[in-house]
Amino acid sequence: MRSVWGMLVEVEPRDHLGYSNVSVAGAGRSRSRLVGDVKFKDTLSSNPEDVGQRGAFVGLGNTEPGTSADVFGLEQRGAVGDGDFRPSDGGGYVAYKKADYAHALSRSDTDVQMYLFETFGGWCNAVKRLFYQMKDKVRNKLSKRQHEDEASWSTRSWLSLQAQRMSVALCPAPLRVAMRSPLPFPCVPDRPYKILLVQAEAVRRGTLAKLSGRGKPLKEERESQAHIGGMPKNMEARAEAEMRRAERSGMLKNLGGEGAPLEQRHVVGAVSQQRAIQNHMQKETLR
């Protein structure tokens, strides 16, 4: 945001773990002050019975209604005897709930927005509108620094670059939240990222260091990453060894010509082939 609005950005969180408010002077409706509350929530629950059915049919269905009620509050509708609120037809009873930003909402010079993100990578329409607003501000063009240092072949516009950066930031965010949780490891709720959490805890305790070799994670050093530079040579040597093994076992015999190995006299190395070409050229020149 600061790369778009500059010094007009008064508050911009570095991540989702600290102060989670956004404040930009003149970026709201009718050039009012934009105040955004950043929320990062999980659509699932540690108790399967608490997982809402609405999230399976509506985007952000398990997180947006409750979060919106906290930020913007709820007006009382209907009576207690009307039953629970029904999203399908809007009927039922809705109890009054005070908004967390009641003072800011009462001011005409402040535009309060809720920026909701989910652990599976989704974000709400308010975030989408914010991205398009910033895209129009920079005319969807990358700066010189962004083009040289941040952009790739798939991010040739400002919007594609920022959307990709946001997606990359959201993927490891649940693991960071879990690792900073005050709960002991066995009590961490069951989440899609728990496998990563188990591995991180095993590395921290040194459990994987006791393995004999199989299953032990690769080290961080570049030269230990399966010797990537020598992989083509290894593949060629392995293919040659497999061909020699197949020839010795007789697997290449009786193939009717297809796939049968050439006789030794036909196997010519690169150097011998080059010499043969040079001799032929000399003979042609002397004629």
Alpha helices in the chain (DSSP H): 2-5, 64-72, 102-106, 125-137, 144-145, 158-170, 173-179, 194-205, 231-248, 270-286
Residue 185 corresponds to which tokens in the numbers above?
């490891």
Whether pLDDT at 19 is above 50: no
Same domain, 120 and 28: yes
Domain boundary among 80, 104, 137: 137
pLDDT score at 225: 45
Asked if the structure places residue 118 within a domain, the reply is: yes
How many domains does the chain contain in total? 2
Asked if the structure places residue 236 within a domain, the reply is: no
Same domain, 41 and 124: yes
C-alpha 141 chain-centroid distance? 23
Same domain, 6 and 121: yes
pLDDT score at 245: 75
Average pLDDT over residues 91-120: 91
User: Can you give the residue range of the structural domain that contains 61?
Assistant: 2-137
Whether pLDDT at 220 is above 60: no
pLDDT digits (tens, 9 = 90+) for 114-127: 999 998 888 999 99
Give Rg (Cα) of the chain.
32
